[in-house]
Structure formats: C-alpha cells, structure tokens
Amino acid sequence: MTRLRARSPFRIFLLTVAALVAAVVAGGSACVAQEPSLAIGVSGGDTFGVTWKLFDPDYKRNAYEATVGWTVRDEDAWEFRWMYQRTAHAFQRRGGGRVELYAGAGLRVKLERDPLYGLRTALGVNLVPKEGEFIPEVFIEAAPSRDLSPRPRWSIGLAAGVRWRL
C-alpha cells in the first residue's frame, strides 16, 4: 500500500469528495441548526480578511458565505471567495449554545499576476456559545481548492475566525 503525501492530489481529491458527500447526506436530516440571519466578522489563516454569511430563511440549514481578504499562501494577493454552506448536524451544548458541523462548496478568485480562478470546498465546525441576538459564531475549517485557470493546481487552506450573528 502506498503512503499518501500530505499534499498529494489524490488526498485533496478525496477530501473534496468527502465534503461534497457530506453536503448531500446532510440534505435528508431533519435537524434545524441555524436561524435566518446575517453574520459578519473577520477570518484568519491562509487568508486574512472580512467574512459574511447570509442564512437562507426558507431552508434554515443553508447559508451563503463570502470572504474578501489578503492571502499569504503561495504568492501574496487579494482573494475573493463565495460558497454555499450546509449544516450537516448541530450538537446542543449543556448550558446553551451548540456546535455545528458543516460542508460547503463554491468559487474562488485570487488576484495574482495571472489571476487564478477555481473551486473551493470546505469542512468545518461552528461554535455558537448561546442563543439570542448579536451572538458570536467561532469557526474553523479545512478547505481543499482546485484552481482551474490559468494553471491547474490543488491546495488545501485553513481558516478560522469569528462572525457576529445579527
């Protein structure tokens, strides 16, 4: 059996497939993990910037997320990301709040000398410490990305941050 390198294309492909399968499997669950709202905050990791998330009022487990920031992965440049996010499961915490597991898929644009256009998936965890208005949402995610143009390549990014649900 061959051993997978940490950044091998096959491993990144498997992580991407796992994220997409998790999003599809989560579609049949009856748990309601998010209230309809908007969340705005900051993110760090391979991209430092501003992030916002709009929760779908009709399907409470769905959200649309975007991030604009300066990325320090490979060539430093501005990066724009748009992603559909689906909460797979929410665990209620003793004392209030919850921990949410999510999967997402979307697009990314990185403005290097030759701008990169590609796909981005994510597997992550949100910690929502309590219920109510103007509450923080702390998140961490691993995000395999596939740049499609002008030069195809795979990468894995990490992101963490905090958003305030309004």
Cis omega before residue 9 (within 30°)? no
pLDDT per residue as tens, the chain (166 positions) = 455 445 556 666 666 666 655 555 554 444 445 465 899 999 999 899 999 999 998 888 999 999 999 998 878 899 999 999 999 999 998 888 899 999 999 999 999 888 999 999 999 999 999 877 788 999 999 999 999 998 899 999 999 999 998 8
Assigned CATH class of 9-165: mainly beta
Angle at 50 between CA 157 and CA 32, to 5 degrees: 80
Euclidean distance between CA atoms 145 and 12, whole angstroms: 8
Parallel/antiparallel/unpaired status of strands 153-165 and 47-55:
unpaired
Q: What is the pTM of this model?
A: 0.74
